[in-house]
Structure formats: structure tokens, C-alpha cells
Amino acid sequence: MTFLLLRHQRFRWLWLGQTVLFCGVQFWFVAITWLMLQRTGSGSAVALVLMAAALPRGLLMLVGGALSDHHPPRALAVRASAVLVLCTAVLTLLAAHGALALAPVMTLAALFGAAEACVYPAAMALLPQLVQPRLLNRAHAWLQGSEQISNVVGPALAGVALAIGGATAALALDAGVLLLAACFFVQLRPRPALWHRDGAGGLLRGLREGCVFAWRHGAIRTGLGLIAMINLAVLGPVVIGVVELVSLRYGGGATTFGALQAAYGVGALVGVALAGRLDRFRLDQPSSALGWLSAALGLGLLGLAAAGDAWVAAAVLAAMGVGGGLVGVMATVWLQRETPAALQGRVMALAMVAGVAFDPLSQALAGLLLDVSLTAVFLAGGGALLLTALLVLRPIRAGGVHP
């Protein structure tokens, strides 16, 4: 039984830490998006803050993965989590004094993003030290499931906290959530391992090895490119576009916004559960699956452009989440199967980079388009994904070269 994994104390602390951390991060982004839009009324201002967090996260994710290969990942996870708590605590003080100006919020967002870039790879690097090799696949499924749970709980909790307690109370609650995650990481007791504390040259060599392998493996290269494209087209509309959708069409507040964001997470959780039941299904080529996902997400964004009621938007977002969760698990398992053990950490870090590297550009484009038309935000993202699907859904020569 998969639930037996949670009886392993070491893995349980990791799963709890990552789940609570993800909830806190999702809470943070929903809260800061809503607060900045309410304070400034500008989609561009919201985009700038989200870009400030996304840029260091995308640029430093691979570095965080390499650091986790050269230093104890438990210590890295604890320290990075502490930075997240500190940033949120300072933001709480600014909100309490009515000082949520753009410049200090962007600075804190950049520090928040840099800490994220370290804590996620560190948590992934801890896994082989906590469970037996034969349980790694199931453990990865549990960790991906924790991300989907957070996509439901984090936004919903943020919406309720903002509606009931206001900005200061909501941010204070989020700081407490992130502190709890850090405490869970402190409880981890991984098996002893040897760490190679190489200098900058060794770190750069490790980064280069991972990048060269992914580039030479044609299917991995294509898959990572598709993940990046999906991220570029979806993130801005789903976050920034949905905020304006709630304000303009549904007359709702933070609770409605949090519920819509949670709807995507519910769908993704269902998708992960479905993928778990397809454990015998072998994905021999991720490109076609990601191509169909692009088409489905593109149609979903077009559906959001026409959604006149909040329940319709929630249903569309949930359906988009199902596809994302289903394909995400299968693609991750495929990446692990295709990658040598010595390069697992760096290739998984590359996958995370592909998932966040275009966050700043996606948010910037959504913010700019939002100042023109809300419909344009969804039409641009949906059209780009449909075009991507048309280009991808054709016979692709399989294979890859292992250096």
C-alpha cells in the first residue's frame, strides 16, 4: 500500500514539510497578487512584483540543485525556509504600517524567489537519503501530490484569511505556516552521505554536465521546451488574468479569487490520482502527451475568456488542472527513467527551471495585455498553446543520445 510510506518517519517529515511549505508559498502569491492589485489598481504593478519573485527563482533553480549535490540538503532546506519566513514577516510589518510600496515589496519578492530556488531542489535531493530505492517512484508521486494539495489549500486559505482578517492578519498567518514548514525540515534525520564541497569550478562543471546531457537527449530537450512553452502561456493568464476576471465580471473578492485558484489545484490533484492508477502505463515519448496538454490548456484559456459566471470559470480551471496533473506525473516518471542516476538531480532541476523560467515574461505580458483588454490576455495565451499543439502533434523521431 502506498500509504505505508507515511509510516516511515523520515519520509513523513519531508512530506509534511514540503506540503506545508507549498501551501505557504501558494498563500503568499495569492495574497500579494490580490493586495497589490487592490492597492495600485494596476496589472503592470502586479506583474512587476511577481516578476521580481519569478526571475531569481528561475535563474537560480539549477544553481540550487547543484548546491544540493555539493552540500547537505537538509541544512539548505532549513536555511532557505527561514528566509521565506523572514521575508513574509517583514511584509507583514509593512502591511501593518500601510507601507506596501512597490519598491520594498519587489525587493522582498526577489529574496523570496531566491530562497524558493534553493529549498525545492534541496527537498528533492533529500529523498534518496530517506527512502529505499524501490520506493522512490511512489515517494515522488506523494511529493507531487503534496504540490497539488497545496494548490487547493493555499489559495483557499489565503482567500478566507484576506476576507476575514485583512492584509496584516493574512500575511502573519502565512509567516506562521512557513515557520511550521521549516520546523518539519528541522526534524529530518537523513542517512549520512558524503558531500563534495567543490569550488566554483566544480559547481560549474556539474551544471554543464546536466545541461549537455539534456541537450543531447532529443526527447528530453523537446519535452523541456514544451514545459517551458506551457508555462509561458498559462501562468500569467491563470494568475493575473483571473484576478481581473473576478473583479470585472463576478464582483467578487479575495474569497472568490482564492476559490478559483483552488479549483485548478483540485483538478490537478485528480490528475495526479489518475496518473497513480496508470502506473503500468509507460510513456515512451512525452512530446505527444505534452502536445495534447497544450491543446487542452489552450482551449481552457479560450473558455475563460468567455466564462460569464464564476462556476463556469471554476469548472474550466479544474479541467485544465486535471490535464496538467496527469501529464506532469507521467512526464516526471519518464524523465527519471531516461536519466542516469548520477544526473537525476540536475535533470530534475532543469525540469523545474523549465516550469518557472518564463514566469517573469508570462506575468509581464499578461500585465501589459491586461491594461489593454482582459479578453486579450486569455486569447493570446490560448492561441499560443493551440499553435504549439499544431506544431508538435506530428510524428517525432524518438530517441536520445546518452553521453
**With the C-alpha atoms ordered 39, 80, 147, 341, is the resulting torsion angle positive or negative?**
positive
Give CA angle at 276 (339, 5), nearest 5°: 85
- Could you tell me the CA-to-CA distances from 15 to 82, 126, 357, 398 in Å, in that order? 18, 11, 25, 35
- pLDDT for 133 equals 61
- pLDDT for 236 equals 82
Residue with cell 540550487: 64
- Nine-digit cell string for 380: 493570446
Q: Give the span between the Cα atoms of 225 and 221, in whole angstroms.
A: 6
Burial 117-147 (b: 16+ CB within 10 A, else e): bbbbbbbbbbbbbbbeeebeebbbbbbbbbb
Are 79 and 181 in contact by the 8 Å Cβ rule? The answer is no
Are 378 and 241 in contact by the 8 Å Cβ rule? The answer is yes
Q: Which of 20-24, 97-101, 244-248, 355-359 has the lowest mean pLDDT?
A: 355-359
pLDDT tens, residue by residue, 106-115: 999 999 989 9
- pLDDT for 82 equals 93
Task: Assess whether pLDDT exceeds 80 at residue 124.
Answer: no
DSSP secondary structure, 321-370, as one string: HHHHHHHHHHHHHHHHHHS-GGGHHHHHHHHHHHHHTTHHHHHHHHHHHH
- Nine-digit cell string for 90: 517583514
Residue 140's pLDDT band (cuts 50, 70, 90): low
Q: Give the span between the Cα atoms of 89 and 117, in whole angstroms.
A: 19
Q: Which of 155-169, 254-268, 376-390 has the lowest mean pLDDT?
A: 254-268
Are 264 and 362 in contact by the 8 Å Cβ rule? The answer is no
Task: Assess whether pLDDT exceeds 80 at residue 265.
Answer: no
- pLDDT for 179 equals 95
Which residue has better confidence, 3 or 157? 157
Which residue has better confidence, 164 or 339? 164
Query: 2-392 has which fold?
Result: Growth Hormone; Chain: A; (1.20.1250)
Domain limits of the chain? 2-392
Which residue has better confidence, 197 or 18? 18
- pLDDT for 157 equals 85
Task: Assess whether pLDDT exceeds 70 at residue 148.
Answer: no
pLDDT tens, residue by residue, 327-372: 776 776 677 677 775 676 667 777 777 776 676 678 778 878 887 8
- pLDDT for 402 equals 38
DSSP secondary structure, 46-106, as one string: HHHHHHHHHHHHHHHHHHHHHHHHHS-HHHHHHHHHHHHHHHHHHHHHHHHTT---HHHHH
Helical axes 344-356 vs 102-130, angle rounded to 10°: 150
Name the residue among 49, 64, 56, 62 with its Cα closest to residue 113: 56
- pLDDT for 398 equals 41
Residue with cell 479578453: 375
Count the Cβ atoms, other than its own, within 10 Å of residue 298.
25
Residue 4's pLDDT band (cuts 50, 70, 90): low
pLDDT tens, residue by residue, 200-216: 455 567 677 777 888 88
Look up residue 66 and give its amino acid: A
Range ranked top by mean pLDDT from 22-31, 38-47, 385-394? 22-31
Residue 285's pLDDT band (cuts 50, 70, 90): low
199 three-class SS: coil
Name the residue among 332, 61, 56 with its Cα closest to residue 207: 61
